[in-house]
Structures are given as C-alpha cells and as structure tokens.
C-alpha cells in the first residue's frame, strides 16, 4: 500500500510538471493570442503574467524563457554591428542642420514608452486593421517621424529586417539627449515592435498640460516611477518648444477668472502676452461652459483639445526667458519652476507638494545629481514594458505592421 501511495504521488508530480511545461510552451508559442500579455520591464524581468512570477517554476525552463525574453547589451553585435553607430551619427548630422529634432525625438520616446511600453506603437499609421496613436489628441503635435523613417531605411539597406523600430527610437532619443547637452546612459537592446497601436489608451493616459499634481504622480506611479524619477524626467522640458495653446489660459483666463494664473510669474505673463496673442484657441472644444466666448479656456484636465499644436498657433521655447543663458540641461528648467516661470500648468505643479518641490530644488542646485537621476530615469523609461523574443515583430517600415502570412 505504501508503494502504491508513493507511486500516486510520483504520478501526480509528473502530471503537474508536464502540464506546466505544456502551458509554458503554449504561452510562448501563442502568447495567449495577445501580443501585449507578456512584456518585460528592463533587465529582462518578465511582468504582468502570473505564470512567470511563480518562483516555484522549474529553473531550467524558466531560465531559458528568461534569456529569450530579456534585453541585452549590444544585441545587434552579430546581426547588425553598425546599427548603433548609424543611428548616433544620423542624429548628430540631422541635429546639426535642424536642432529642433532632438527635443522632438525625446518627446516621441516618452509618448511611445508611456503607452503600453517601448514598442514603437506610436509610429504606426492608420490602416484597415489598425487605428493610429498619431490621431490621439496628445500626439497631434508630435514630430520626428520622418527622421525615424529616414534612419530606418538606412538600417534596412545595411541589415534588412534586423533592427526594430522600438530599439531605433530609444537609441535615437538617447543620442538626442546627448546632442541637447544631457547625460549619456547605457541601453540594452532587443526590443520588438508591436503589431498594433493603442489610440484610446494614448488619448486617456497621456497627461495633458492642465494635469494636476496628483494625476501626474498617479500616472507615473502606475508605471513604476517614483516621485523623484517623475520630477527628474520633467527636466526634459528644459529643451524644445510648446505651442501657445497649451498654456494661454494661464495668460488670459485662468480657471474662468478672466485673469492670469496667480502662480505664473507676472513679468513673464506680460512678455508672453505679446508672443501669444489673445484668443488663438478661443474656440477650444475644452472650453469651460459659461465662459465669454472670446476667452481662451483650456482649463479642462484632459486639455489637449482637438486642434493641439495647429500650425497657426504660436510657438514658444519651453526655456523662454532663460536668464541663466545656456545653463546646464535640466538645471535651468528647475530654476525656472522656483521662479514660477514654468510655461505649462503641469510643469508648475511640481512645486505643489513638499516632496516634489524638494526634488525641484535639489536638481536646480545640483546639476550632477540631476544628470545622474535623469540618466537613470531615462534608462528605466526606455526599457519600460518592452516586447521581446517572439512576442513582437521587427517592422521593415516603422509606420506599418508586417503583413500577416
Ligand atoms: C505630465 C507630463 C507631461 C506633459 C503634460 C507634457 C506636455 C508637453 C507639451 C504640451 C509639450 C508642447 C508640445 C508642442 O507644443 O508641440 C511638450 C513638449 C515636450 N515634452 Fe513634454 N510633457 C510631459 C512630460 C514629458 C516627459 C516625461 C518628457 C521626456 C522625458 C517630455 C519631453 C518633452 C520634450 C522634449 C518636449 C519638446 C518637444 C519639441 O520641442 O518638439 N515631456 N510636453
Ligand atoms: Ca508604445
């Protein structure tokens, strides 16, 4: 009887092992039919799938899974050794002629990674089966797609079908940070591209320029970013531009008062009124009800409106009126916030809690602390929720998914 009991236990254990291996293989092969189900966050840790979180799983199987699902340094060493050099050189060359490209690419990276991870979903055009994130209102003023397309076609001539658009975007943005005077940070590669876009999520999840602090922190926290990391990432707003639409309610009609935002430096408000004349976005669809029709009114929290960044809208440097001159990347932005000179309402929100204000002050006074933190946060952002291994594809044109077989 004892032997029979042991035999049953062995049989049961074998069945459990066989079933687990079967489930493992099934999930890898078919990804539950859902490309977004299995993604990794940075260093190859597979997340969002309870299957991978179970430590009791059999080591040999899970180690193999781990390897094929993780990013690596110099992933293209064998398959496309010149990839990183081509990307870096292209960004430097293009930026020499057109400096505005660097900030555009950094923003593009943020808008990609923040929505379902760094999977180049933001680059897809609309087609029969896909909507496009480009049509979500926070993305209407994104730029830099042409630069990514140009570099991708160069990569395709050198090593066809090898370098993913997701890797291209994070590497291009890293070079853009350097070109803009920011820090270098190492990046692992091996991201794959998504086979779909997430327009609705982009519409709902990217914070708008009227977002309040609690909303901003919650959006970043839900993606694993601490307050310190969130504040450091905002340092990217020390470069690039913003359209008047995104802050003009602060000049003319803050919260329906018909007056400027009391939290906006009065000197800067006066100057900006000449650059962003009254009522550019008077007919903004996000106007609060009951307002005098000619007052710009974009207080509503989602706030991008439908005509965001339209071409007849004025454009202002995010570092406008930067008395410190060409100071360190990052530092100047945080100093501006301390002087109530942040252009976007959402920027100035960082001064709205003890903890975030503490980091603003720390970064304003310690450039090397900021550079270290920004580098770490950009690494984290660039590896957020990536697709690896068989879970994604390598598009040959960044704006189109691969044709189905
Ligand atoms: C609450 C979070 C954020 C909001 C509401 C926000 C909003 C905006 C807005 C409204 C603009 C102006 C776009 C235009 O007029 O064309 C802008 C520009 C920019 N943003 Fe953000 N942003 C946020 C976070 C970030 C983060 C985390 C990064 C990067 C790590 C970033 C990088 C940039 C850059 C580089 C620009 C300049 C783009 C250019 O010159 O083309 N932003 N942002
Ligand atoms: Ca994405």
Q: What is the mean pLDDT of each run of 10 residues along the chain (405 residues)?
A: 48 47 34 46 45 38 57 96 98 98 98 98 92 97 98 98 98 98 97 97 98 98 98 97 96 95 96 85 39 43 55 82 66 95 97 98 96 98 97 97 86
The CB of 209 under 6 Å from ligand 1? The reply is yes
- Active-site option among 72, 111, 237, 385: 111
pLDDT of residue 128: 84
Which protein residues have their CB within 5 A of the ion that is ligand 2? 112, 115-116, 119, 121
Separation of CA 90 and ligand 2 centre (Å): 23
Surface-to-core class of residue 317, CB atoms within 10 Å of its CB (0-12 exposed, 13-18 middle, 19+ buried) = middle
Domains of the chain: 2-68 (no CATH), 83-204+383-391 (1.10.520.10), 206-380 (1.10.420.10)
Among all bound ligands, the one having the nearest atom to the CA of 381 is 1
Mutate-to-test residue for ligand 1 from 91, 110, 317, highest number of ligand atoms within 8 A of CB:
110
Ligand 1 atom showing the smallest separation from residue 100 Cα: 40
Whole-number pLDDT of residue 74 = 96
Q: What's the pLDDT score for residue 42? A: 63
pLDDT of residue 50: 33
The closest-lying atom of ligand 1 relative to the alpha carbon of residue 209 is 5
Indicate the pTM of the whole model.
0.84
Q: Ligand 1 center to residue 138 CA distance, Å? A: 10
- Is the distance from the beta carbon of residue 101 to the nearest atom of ligand 1 less than 6 Å? no
Predicted pLDDT of residue 27 = 34
The rounded distance, in Å, linking the Cα atoms of 303 and 282 is 13
Q: Specify the ligand 1 atom closest to the Cα of 241.
A: 40
Ligand number nearest to the C-alpha of 386: 2
Report the pLDDT value the prediction gives residue 289, as an integer from 0 to 100. 33
Give yes or no: 237 in active site. Answer: no
- State residue 38's pLDDT score: 61
Cα 241 to middle of ligand 1, angstroms: 8
**122 alpha carbon to ligand 2 midpoint, in Å?**
6
Residue 235 Cβ inside 6 Å of ligand 1? The answer reads no
How many angstroms separate the alpha carbon of residue 62 from the centre of ligand 2? Answer: 26
Give, for ligand 1, the residue of 236, 349, 350 to mutate: max count of ligand atoms closer than 8 Å to Cβ.
236
For residue 305, what pLDDT is reported? 62
The residue contributing the CA closest to ligand 1 atom 17 is 242
pLDDT of residue 309: 55
Ligand 1 near 237 CB (within 6 A): yes
Predicted local confidence at residue 19, as pLDDT: 44
Q: Is the CB of 143 under 6 A from ligand 1?
A: yes
pLDDT for residue 28: 30
Ligand 1 pocket, residue 223 CB under 6 Å: no
Quick one: pLDDT at residue 130? 85
**Ligand 1 within 6 A of CB of 207:** yes
Q: Which of 107, 245, 276 most suits a substitution to test ligand 1, by most atoms within 8 Å of the C-beta?
A: 107
Residue 201: nearest ligand to its CA?
2
């Amino acid at each position: 009887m004892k032997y029979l009991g042991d035999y049953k236990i062995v049989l049961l254990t074998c069945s459990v092992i066989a079933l687990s291996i079967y489930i493992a293989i099934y999930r890898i092969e078919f990804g539950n039919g859902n490309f977004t189900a299995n993604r990794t966050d940075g260093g190859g840790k597979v997340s969002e799938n309870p299957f991978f979180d179970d430590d009791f799983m059999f080591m040999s199987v899970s180690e193999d899974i781990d390897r094929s699902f993780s990013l690596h340094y110099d992933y293209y060493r064998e398959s496309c050794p010149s990839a990183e050099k081509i990307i870096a050189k292209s960004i430097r060359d293009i930026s020499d002629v057109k400096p505005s490209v660097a900030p555009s690419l950094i923003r593009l990276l943020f808008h990609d990674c923040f929505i379902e991870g760094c999977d180049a979903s933001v680059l897809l055009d609309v087609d029969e089966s896909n909507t496009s994130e480009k049509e979500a209102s926070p993305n209407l003023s994104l730029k830099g797609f042409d630069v990514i397309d140009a570099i991708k076609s160069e990569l395709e001539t050198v090593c066809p079908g090898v370098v993913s658009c997701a890797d291209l975007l994070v590497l291009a943005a890293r070079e853009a940070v350097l070109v803009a005077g920011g820090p270098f940070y190492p990046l692992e590669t091996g991201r794959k591209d998504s086979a779909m876009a997430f327009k609705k999520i982009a519409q709902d999840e990217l914070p708008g320029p009227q977002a309040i602090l609690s909303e901003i922190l919650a959006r970043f926290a839900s993606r694993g970013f601490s307050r310190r990391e969130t504040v450091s990432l905002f340092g990217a707003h020390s470069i690039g531009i913003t359209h008047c639409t995104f802050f003009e309610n602060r000049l003319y009609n803050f919260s329906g008062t018909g007056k400027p935002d009391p939290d906006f430096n009065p000197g800067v408000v006066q100057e900006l009124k000449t650059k962003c004349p009254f009522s550019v976005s008077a007919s903004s669809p996000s106007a609060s009800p009951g307002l005098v029709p000619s007052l710009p009114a974009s207080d509503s929290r989602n706030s991008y409106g439908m005509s965001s960044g339209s071409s007849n809208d004025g454009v202002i440097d995010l570092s406008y009126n930067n008395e410190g001159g060409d100071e360190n990347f990052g530092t100047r932005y945080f100093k501006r916030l301390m002087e109530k000179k942040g252009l976007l309402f959402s920027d100035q929100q960082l001064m709205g809690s003890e903890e975030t204000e503490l980091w603003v002050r720390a970064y304003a006074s310690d450039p090397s602390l900021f550079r270290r933190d920004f580098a770490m946060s950009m690494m984290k952002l660039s590896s957020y929720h990536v697709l690896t291994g068989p879970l994604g594809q390598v598009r040959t044109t960044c704006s189109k998914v691969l044709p189905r077989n």
